[in-house]
Structure formats: structure tokens, C-alpha cells
Structure 1
């Protein structure tokens, strides 16, 4: 059954949604006792670890090789012209290089353009496990988060991850119309929407306890569940609910 707490009343769950949806972020590293910040393109593992595809030709990668302490800032859309009204979260952790084809595939699923260089010799996948976080939801709304606050339930993560391939294949083969409706509904809720043609086919390229990723070519959008799910049955229920909403039901 889906978790009872909703993202509307939980800084931790809002932070998870921001991390899951982020396609760009600011990576903070340390070099010779000085901070350094650069733009990166994150994805998340099923357990919410941050995934980055980095080149050894980049300064920030060399920084991590010398000192793996780092931070990542991701920012959501502002609710007014003032950018300080945007929800955002900064996480801190230790970066490590990983050689996991499944995690690399998950990064490529939300950054498909990266296939052009993902196998170059100087590129490798890095993972950051969030240890602490700071959520800022706007003016006078800040909350420090522990690792335990951010981390999804391990049993739920494992259950959904084990069924992810089957869920995606089934939805893409048998429920293309529903995915198209869900995608258009999600796009209509974006602050700067750009709707594709009705006939375009969206594919589910990722699914986890917090939501799913839908792709149309190189355009990938995040669709969040109403609340974190516990098992594949909850995923099916959430997809059915989203399809009903998209149909006006």
C-alpha cells in the first residue's frame, strides 16, 4: 500500500521529488581547501543515490578523485517572478565511481543524448549517497534532513526494482494510449509547457517507488506518484489513477 504521508506535507518527500525530477544541478567539490561549483546532469538510482556520468577531463571529476566529499543542489520551478520562491534541496555525501550497467542504463534513460559519449574511455559513472540534506521551500521554510529522512524504504525499493522491466515493457506494449494521456497531463501542469502532437508515442523508461519517467525521443519528463509506493501492485494502482485523472475521471 502507498505511504500515507503525501509530498504536500513532507519536506523529505518534496526533496525526493526534486531529486528524482532533476535533469540539471550544481555540483560542489573541494580542491585545495577551496569550494568549486559546476553544472552537472544528475539521475537517481532506485534507492535515491545520485548518478553522474563524468569525464576525467573535467576539473570537478579530478576534484572528486582527490577528495570525494561533495554536494549537489537541485532547484524546482519558482512560484513567482522571484527565483527565491523556488523549492530546492542541497544534499551532501561521498562520491564513488561505480561500474554497474543497470545504473548506467538508468542514467542514460533520462539523458538519452549521453549515448553519444557514454562509452568514451574518459567517462565513468559516479554515485553519491545522500548523507544529509537541506530543503528550502521558499521564504522562511527550511528543514535539515538526515539520511534516514531522505532514504526510501529498502524493501519497497527492491520490490519495485525487481518488477521494473516487466512494468515498463507491459505499459509500453499494451498501454501506450494511457501513457500518452498521463504525459500530456503532466506537461499541462508545467510552468512553461510545450505540448507535442496528440499522436506521438511516449515510452516509460524508468519506474521507482516515487514515480516514473516518460520519454518522447530525447525529451524525458518525470511523473510523480501521489505518495511513495510499496510494491508493483501500488505502481499499477498509481498508473490507473493517473490515467483516470488524465481522462477527466
Structure 2
């Protein structure tokens, strides 16, 4: 057998999949965090064939993607029959659409009931990202679903393919999640009431999002999320917060850095 060939005569080729590293995890989590929309793939209960639709998205504090869907839609009926699904996130930009990062997540959908302690938080986060949904979010035929991520395929651009596990995609289990979640709404209201200028400097100068009427829509141990109309920006913490008590001094330090950059 010729060196470099397999037993059936085919040439041995190196795997195009790279080892998962911190950069890949960070890119995958960022794609989920900044996604306003995604392509949702489900299995049709009638014939078992795949069915894909476009859904609006937000994320829970641990990075789990969530969506608001109607019980009348085909994809919701499919999920109620078979929770297995796939979600593609990552928007194309200028130039070749295939040159931009995208993430294909495989997992299982789970309904978030109105009596679930997490319901209020995800509703607030979702409506910050999709304000027009306030018109129908309270209707009885609309429900929030989260996608419990089991694995994913990340294409970060040419020559940057990775396979990730569920633990790579979220920060579930982070010790500060519960405390940060409890203080999120109040902290954001305070920042908007007393430090809106700092919020806009975070987005414009540190996240390099450009000028705009930016507001803080959510935060988590790994960063801050901003909105301006349909635009989304994210500023990653370096390093991530270790405790909820780290948030205030980190925001003060970032405000100083942003003003110095001016």
C-alpha cells in the first residue's frame, strides 16, 4: 500500500475540523448572544421530513437561546410532537455570505411555562431585543421555548471548522448566574437613569458599534449586550466576571477606559 493511502486505495486526508479551543467557544457563544433571528429546523410530525422556518431569538443569561412562538405555527406543533431541532445563527455581511461565521446548533426545545421562575427574565430580555413583540407576547397562544443545546458545528470562516459540545456553548453552572439574574433589571434601569452616557460610550468606543442611540439590553458574566433599533452589539468582559460583586467596579473601569479613548 502506498504511504498516504487508505486500504481501499483512497488518499488519506487530514480532518478539516480543528481542535476546539477558547477562541472557538467564544465565537460560538457570541453568535448565539447577538442573534436576533435564526433558521429553526424541526421534524414534521406528519411525514417526518425536515421543515425549516425563521424565528426571532434572544438568550437567557447562561447563553441558552430562546424564542417566542405561536401554538398555531407549524414549527411549534412539530416541537410539541418531537422536541429535537436544529438552529442556525450567524448573519451574512459584506462580500461572500459563506465567508462569515455561522453556528448550527442541535438540541431539544423546552417550553418555558408562565409559572416558571425563568419566565419573567426571558420575557424581559426578549422584549428588549424585539420591542414590537409586546403587542402579542401576552396572548395565550404564544409561549417561550428554550433550546437545550447538545452539540454544534461552527464555521468561523475559511479553514475554521469546529465541532462543539453543549458545555462549550453556554455558561450553565457559573456561580454568579443566579445573583446576576436577580439584579439585572434593576442594574440596567439604574444605568439608563444615571449613566446613559457611559452606556453609549461602551457601545460606540469599546464595542466599536458606531454612533447611535444605544441602550443596555442585557448582561451576563461574559459581557454586555446593547441595542439600537435593529442593531445589536456586544462587549466582552476580559476577564469574565467571577462574582456578581465584580459588576460595578468593572463598569466603572470600562467607563474610564471609554472616556480615555475619546
Conservation of the 8 A alpha-carbon contact between 2:206 and 2:235: no
TM-score (norm: length of structure 2)? 0.79
Pair 128,117 (structure 1): closer, same or farther in 2 beyond 3 Å: same
Report how many aligned residue pairs link the two structures.
Answer: 232
Once superposed, what is the RMSD of the aligned Cα atoms? 2.3
Instruction: Give 1:77 deviation, angstroms.
Output: 4.8
Match of 2:218 among 184, 206, 216: 206
Distance 1:224 1:184, change over 3 A: closer
Of residues 160, 163, 171 in structure 1, which corresponds to 2:183?
163
1:232 pairs with 2:244:
yes
Q: 1:87 aligns with which of 77, 94, 101?
A: 101
Listed as ranges, the matches of 1:48-87 within 5 Å are 48-78=63-93, 81-87=95-101
Residue 181 (structure 1) shift: 1.8
Kept after mapping to 2: 8 A contact 1:97/1:126: yes
Higher RCO by CA contacts (8 Å cutoff, separation 6 or greater): 1
1:15 positional shift: 0.7
Q: 1:15 aligns with which of 5, 24, 28?
A: 28
- 2:165 maps to 1:146: yes
Aligned equivalent of 2:111, options 97, 104, 109: 97
Q: Compared with structure 1, are the counterparts of its residues 101 and 233 closer, same or farther at alpha carbon in structure 2 (3 Å cutoff)? A: closer
Q: Could you state the TM-score of these two structures normalised by the residue count of structure 1?
A: 0.83
Give, in angstroms, the shift of residue 186 of structure 1: 6.2
In structure 2, the residue matched to 1:247 is 259
1:48 is displaced (CA, Å) by 1.6
Secondary structure of 1:25 counterpart: strand
Match of 2:13 in 1: none
| Separation of aligned partners in 1, 2:181 and 2:140 | 29
- What stretches of structure 2 of length at least 5 have no aligned partner? 1-20, 114-118
Q: CA deviation at 1:9?
A: 5.0
Cα distance in 1 for partners of 2:244, 2:190 equals 12
**Partner Cα separation in structure 2 for residue 58 and residue 239 of structure 1:** 42
Q: Using the alignment, how far apart are the partners of 1:221 and 1:238 within structure 2?
A: 21
Q: Point out the structure with max Rg over C-alpha.
A: 2
